[in-house]
Structure 1
Amino acid sequence: MRAVVFAYHNVGVRCLKVLLARGVEVALVVTHEDNPQETIWFESVASLCRQHGIPTITPDDPATPALLAQVAALDPDFIFSFYYRNMLPVNLLALARHGAFNMHGSLLPKYRGRVPINWAVLHGETETGATLHEMAAKPDAGAIVAQTIVPILPDDTAYEVFGKVVVAAEQTLWNVLPAMLAGNTPKLPNNLAQGSYFGGRKPADGEIDWSQPAQQVYNLYRAVAPPYPGAWTIIKDKTFIIGKASLPTNQAADIPVNLPQGLAVVDNRIVGVCGDGRALLINQLLVNDQAVAPEALQNILL
């Protein structure tokens, strides 16, 4: 079986390795040039392809006649998309003799669209996963092929959950690929009415609203904690980013009732006072990537 693969990021690397391990001929990989404005903390699909001698291209737009002709000439049995960041046009998908499939980082139909893991953590979900599904004209709307569930623990950051989802994606593809190669691809309903769709997130979306309950503020921190841009607040023209934080469950850790909402120093510890009177314990507070000590923050707050 021959495949053309659109791939990027860790999921792209791991799922591409699964295809190779299962004996699939990968005729072409389409990936992205790394963005110099982005923190590249993930593995390189292009590097993996160089190791295996797989032809690789990085077009800005996958919807060009030139790419359509190039893929058509390869006559692929399958087209796969593994964390490739652009939608693929329907006429391109139709070139795959046995179908075109995408690996998505949620339990579809929930969290269709962009950055699904970050959205799931932000909304306080207790589980998510990886879903292999048929690609269609709408994003993440095709029939479900297979899913693998992973837990989201109460203090997991999106980065930690992402690591679980990478493994789930690898397991999902590994387990279902033999059936797909044998011509028995499962097709399960993807009922969009029972799901949700979310767009992308920007660094500006990490601004903390301290009037919210502590659990919501904590979920925001978890959803965008480094290596993502982080949850942030501004004091006297300085932008403070929460590097590490926890949310105490015992009432004894609650802060004095007379403190205003926002950052504060209590017993030489940095806390973030929230709208419900509870507080985050901030174990690492950053300004310009440098840690801020409690006494230094106290001087700024005076």
Structure 2
Amino acid sequence: MNAVVFAYHDVGVRCLKVLLARGVRVALVVTHEDSATENIWFNSVAGVCREYGIPYITPEDPKSPQLFTQVQAAQPDFIFSFYYRHMLPVNLLALAKHGAYNMHGSLLPKYRGRVPINWAVLHGETETGATLHEMAAKPDAGAIVAQTAVPILPDDTAFEVFGKVVVAAEQTLWRVLPLILAGRTPKLPNDLSKGSYFGGRKPEDGRIDWKKPAQHVHNLVRTVAPPYPGAFEEIAGDKITLVRTRLVPASARPTLERSHGAQDKFFEGGRLYARCGDGNYLQILGIQINDQDASLNNYLKYMAV
């Protein structure tokens, strides 16, 4: 079988390798140029193509007539999209003789749209996963082909969850690809009324509001912890980024309040604590100051500001 693959990021790398391992002929890969303004902490689809001798292109516009012509010339039986960052137009999808499929980083129909792993962590989900689905005119709206769940532990960062979802995506595609190639593709309902849709996130969305409950602030820190831009506050002209936090058990609250009253931030036994809007506490386990790693003791000079 002949495939055209739109791919980027670690999911793109691993799923492209699954296709090759299953004997799919990849006639063309469409990927992105890495941006000089982005922190590139993930593996390169273009690098895989160079390693395996697969032709690849990096067009800026997936709706361009030139791209349509190139995909058409490849005569794809299938089109796959693995973490490619643009929606593909319907006329392009129609070039696939036997179907066009996308790998999405959530358990659809939940968390359709952009950065689904980050949104799941922010909302305190205990589970997410990877879903292979048919591509349609609307984002993440086609029939579900297969999905694999992974746990989100209470202190997992979005980066750690992303690593699990990469494995889940690889397992999902490996498991269902023989059925797809045999013309027996499963098609399960993707009921959008039971799901949710979210847009992209900006660095400013990581600004901390200490009036929020401790669980909310903890989830925000986990959501945007490095390599993402980080949860931050600004004090005396400096940017303070929380790298990692932990919820303090409610049973410890009376002891902390007897020692420190209603202080917003304080050291106790060499540990740095912050009081949130609901009266509960976070232990701050790591910080950066102006995007540079710093000792927790460096926070002392900000506590009187």
Fold conserved between structures, TM > 0.5: yes
CA contact 1:28–1:55 (8 Å) conserved in 2: yes
Structure 2 CA distance for aligned equivalents of residues 128 and 235 of structure 1: 35
- SS of 1:228's equivalent in the other structure is coil
CA contact 1:265–1:297 (8 Å) conserved in 2: no
Structure 2 CA distance for aligned equivalents of residues 6 and 275 of structure 1: 45
- SS of 2:12's equivalent in the other structure is helix
Deviations 1:15-51 (A, max 9, x none): 0000000000000000001111111110100000000
- SS of 2:220's equivalent in the other structure is helix
1:235 is aligned to 2:231? no
- SS of 2:149's equivalent in the other structure is strand
Deviations 1:142-201 (A, max 9, x none): 010001011111111111110110000000000000000001111111000000000000
Aligned-pair identity (%): 67
CA contact 1:268–1:294 (8 Å) conserved in 2: no
Q: Please name the residue that 1:74 is paired with.
A: 74
CA contact 1:122–1:222 (8 Å) conserved in 2: yes
Q: Please name the residue that 1:130 is paired with.
A: 130
Instruction: Write the letter of the residue equivalent to 2:299.
Output: L
**Candidates 240, 244, 258, aligned match of 2:261:** 258
Structure 2 CA distance for aligned equivalents of residues 73 and 232 of structure 1: 49
Structure 1 CA distance for aligned equivalents of residues 83 and 71 of structure 2: 19
Deviations 1:244-293 (A, max 9, x none): 221122522663263344x4434432222201112211111111233333
Instruction: Quickly say closer, same or farther: Cα 1:265–1:236, change in 2 above 3 A.
Output: farther
- SS of 1:13's equivalent in the other structure is helix
Deviations 1:54-77 (A, max 9, x none): 001000111101110111111100
Structure 2 CA distance for aligned equivalents of residues 260 and 58 of structure 1: 53
Q: Please name the residue that 1:100 is paired with.
A: 100
Shift of 1:106: 0.2
Instruction: Write the letter of the residue equivalent to 1:258.
Output: G
Where does the alignment leave 5 or more consecutive residues of structure 1 unmatched?
A: none
**Candidates 280, 289, 301, aligned match of 1:299:** 301
Q: Post-superposition, which runs of at least 4 consecutive aligned residues in structure 1 deviate over 6 A?
A: none
Q: Please name the residue that 1:190 is paired with.
A: 190
Structure 2 CA distance for aligned equivalents of residues 56 and 74 of structure 1: 12
What is the number of residues matched between the two proteins? 301
Instruction: Write the letter of the residue equivalent to 1:277.
Output: G
